[in-house]
Amino acid sequence: MVVAAHPLAVDAGLRMLKSGGNAVDAAIAVAVTLNAAEPFASGMGGGGFMVIHLAKEKRTTVINFREKAPHAASPLMFKEKGDAENEWRTSTGLAVAVPGALAGWHLALRRYGTRSFADVASRAVEIAEQGLVISQTFSNINKEEYERLAKNAGPGNCYLNGGLPYEPGDVLRNPDLARTLKLIASKGVEEFYQGDLAKKIVAAVQAHQGIMTLEDLAAYKPTETSPLVGTYKNCTVMTAPPPASGGLQLLQLLNISANWPVKKWGQNSLATIHHLSEAMRFIFADRGRYLGDPDDVGIPVQSLLAKDYAEALASRILPDRPLDDYPSSIFEEKKAKKDNTTHLCVMDQEGNVVSLTQSINDFFGTGIVPEGTGFLLNDHMDDFSSDPESPNAPGPGRRPLSSMAPLIMFKEGKFFLALGSPGGTRIFAALGEIILNVTEFGMSLDDAIEAPRFFSYSVRGKPRPVFVESRIPQSTLLELQKMGYQVEVREAYDKYFGGAQGLMVVKKGKLILGGADSRRDGSGAGY
């Protein structure tokens, strides 16, 4: 079974499984194909996290291929730009963190896969050469990000259609990307980090006022680490640890929720939305205070995940109205809210499972395309804090805090659910709601993913509105307002709330259900 944000990528993964590849082979095939089929949301110019469950070994591991700051990065590098800070953080070479995707894919393949990069990249090469038929989703996003692409991608770049956005039904051909993939297949990943591709990346970054050097690329290494582990009722959740924050925040949300009769309250009821929104606000306070690159800052992970801490937070939440204050944090509200990134899940016949989230940050990243390479460079430096005192301040070689939360869940020791989502800081909330929909409200995976969502957070101890999809009943929204909430209603299936993909085993392991999100071009297939 394969689920991902584009049917062509799902097809690539399924073909890999059918030809005898394992879940890791298939997951990397999907990941690379997304570079061609959903280039605005991820690719070799970005990074991510991958949770792998090895069925025979009964072991779960995490590959961290999050990007890193260049060596010349400093805590004040963005703050000193003043009013132009946001522009520098998203649309210039300074926004580009050293990409980790290719190194991460390569590490996973080498350690746990059975196929070559040429094999897993073959479908991506075909799509890049033959062309991608543009969907409504792609067209909408292409229009939304038009200004940055027009400014940065270079004349004649393939990410615009004759200098204008793509319309649905147009065809995007990317022969440069095809050539790049073939080059890496023949010369190895070193070509990207030390060879001619590295020179092109650095040239493009520096031409756009960035600070990345060849040494930065050559020094990049992905890491393999143990997963972050938590529990919810009779389930064990394994997810990516910091610098991925989403998993930790999700576990906090589930820990707090466990103190309440959520099932009795009902899905998206007034009580459920109120209590979970308050929980989210407390969780954001912790995020701002404690989270950063664990290689540089100490994070009290076990304290944050302690059940009694969750109980204490739950007891602070009032049953009938929101609080006015939350523990102060240094989490900053960014002007431009992000709903980017992509997620995929794969399960093979042996029971191996991969849950992978990857991104180039903003849709279309910085819009910078190294000459002749066909891939977009990320703007993940924007995930660092502006505050030089923050645990998530930029610094040499640091990994910016990520909101990603690819996860694998086990019920009574057996694999139960793989899940993940894009959606920036809303990722953990989306995943928490989906998990509750499945475990508490008995929904099927697809229904759980499609169900309307909500989100809230706090900034410097003060509550922000509760954001809801318009499908949540008007009566509930009125009750929330009466309670004292400022309610902001968004579209019925708004990408703001993520675009989850998941797969779930039911009927005592005899059936695998896939779930894909209409908020993006989600798709799934199995055999």
Residues belonging to the active site = 341
- Tell the burial category of 444 from Cβ atoms under 10 Å away from its Cβ (0-12, 13-18, 19+): middle
Question: From the CB of residue 161, how many other CB atoms can be counted at a distance below 10 Å?
Answer: 15
Residue 516 contacts other proteins per CB under 8 A = yes
Residue 336 contacts other proteins per CB under 8 A = yes
Q: One symbol per residue from 66 to 105: x for binding other proteins (CB under 8 A), - otherwise; what is it?
A: --------------------x-------------------
What span, in angstroms and rounded, lies between the C-alpha atoms of 379 and 213?
16
Is residue 77 within 8 A of residue 94, CB to CB? The reply is yes
What span, in angstroms and rounded, lies between the C-alpha atoms of 128 and 173?
6
Six-digit token string for 211: 């600070």
Taking CB under 8 A as the criterion, the residue among 7, 15, 140, 296 binding other proteins is 140
Taking CB under 8 A as the criterion, the residue among 335, 507, 508, 510 binding other proteins is 335
Residue 493 contacts other proteins per CB under 8 A = yes
Residue 171 contacts other proteins per CB under 8 A = no
Which residue do the tokens 């746990």 mark? 112
What span, in angstroms and rounded, lies between the C-alpha atoms of 116 and 296?
34
What span, in angstroms and rounded, lies between the C-alpha atoms of 419 and 151?
36
Residue 478 contacts other proteins per CB under 8 A = no
Give the nearest distance from C-beta 312 to other proteins in angstroms: 34
Residue 462 contacts other proteins per CB under 8 A = no
Residue 307 contacts other proteins per CB under 8 A = no
Taking CB under 8 A as the criterion, the residue among 19, 72, 114, 163 binding other proteins is 163
Q: What is the DSSP letter of 93?
A: G
| 200/490 with CB nearer other proteins | 490
What span, in angstroms and rounded, lies between the C-alpha atoms of 275 and 280?
9
Strand pairing class (487-490; 466-469): parallel
Residues 172-231 close enough to bind other proteins by CB under 8 A: none
Angle 82-84-87 from CA coordinates, rounded to 5°? 140
Give the nearest distance from C-beta 469 to other proteins in angstroms: 12
Give the nearest distance from C-beta 140 to other proteins in angstroms: 5
From 29-37, 164-172, 249-257, 479-487, span contacting other proteins (CB under 8 A): 164-172
Residue 133 contacts other proteins per CB under 8 A = no
DSSP reduced 3-state for 231: strand
Residues that bind other proteins (CB under 8 A): 86, 136, 139-140, 143-147, 150, 161-165, 167, 335-337, 446, 450, 490-491, 493, 496, 516, 518, 522
